Amino acid sequence: DTGVSQDPRHKITKRGQNVTFRCDPISEHNRLYWYRQTLGQGPEFLTYFQNEAQLEKSRLLSDRFSAERPKGSFSTLEIQRTEQGDSAMYLCASSLGSGERGELFFGEGSRLTVL
Amino acid sequence: AQRVTQPEKLLSVFKGAPVELKCNYSYSGSPELFWYVQYSRQRLQLLLRHISRESIKGFTADLNKGETSFHLKKPFAQEEDSAMYYCALVVGWGKFQFGAGTQVVVTP
């Protein structure tokens, strides 16, 4: 197992287009998280799944954003009608645990540039 | 309001000198705090967590509830410590509030 993997690593798109990112967590991890990181800031929480259930969504996640984890394994994050403000690094992380103390294992991120 | 503040964006130290990265938090509950590190061209990874009270790569961090701080310290900085460091607070199930990060540069 090589850890959390994300695809694509880089995406350049024009404003108004839809984009989708995929995250494959560490196989035995039941929790999966999406974070967003902009230049000069730390990661900001977007949403998280326990198995296939999406348990929490941040206010940052507008209606244009949707995340799924259909079989409790990989997850996708889709952004519809992209805006320049969506340009950021989208980080996926996974963890194993039933409590809050689980260590987050991060992927390398998917960098989105909206022109 | 829940907040994590890392006041220094950049910390430049000489090899062998002590280094201290500041982290202050605001949280109404019982805090759980972590330090994450990102080395150049690597992914973000856990450095240490306050509940385990361990020393990792020579780094330690003590939770001071009175001062609401969780500063990261190392007595003798090494060149391989050059990285971006993030303080993180657990603010809910699966939710971490990260600070803006401190870039540490260790010069020989």
Name the token pair of B31.
Answer: 């805090």
**Phi and psi dihedrals of B8, rounded to 5?**
-100, 125
- Interface contact flag, B98 A44, Cβ < 8 Å: yes
Q: How many CB pairs under 8 A join A and B?
A: 59
> Of B10, B68, B88, which Cα lies nearest the Cα of A44?
B88
The predicted-structure confidence for B52-95, as pLDDT tens digits, reads as follows 777 789 999 989 999 999 999 999 999 999 999 999 998 887 78
Instruction: Decide: B50 and B71 in contact? Cβ < 8 Å.
Output: no
- Interface contact flag, B94 A48, Cβ < 8 Å: yes
The predicted-structure confidence for A24-71, as pLDDT tens digits, reads as follows 999 989 999 999 999 999 999 999 999 999 998 998 888 999 999 998
The angle formed by the CA atoms of residues B49, A21 and B40, to the nearest 5 degrees, is 45
Strand-pair category, B72-74 with B19-21:
antiparallel
> Of A48, A59, A60, which Cα lies nearest the Cα of A102?
A48
For B88, nearest residue in chain A (alpha carbons) = A42
- Interface contact flag, A43 B96, Cβ < 8 Å: yes
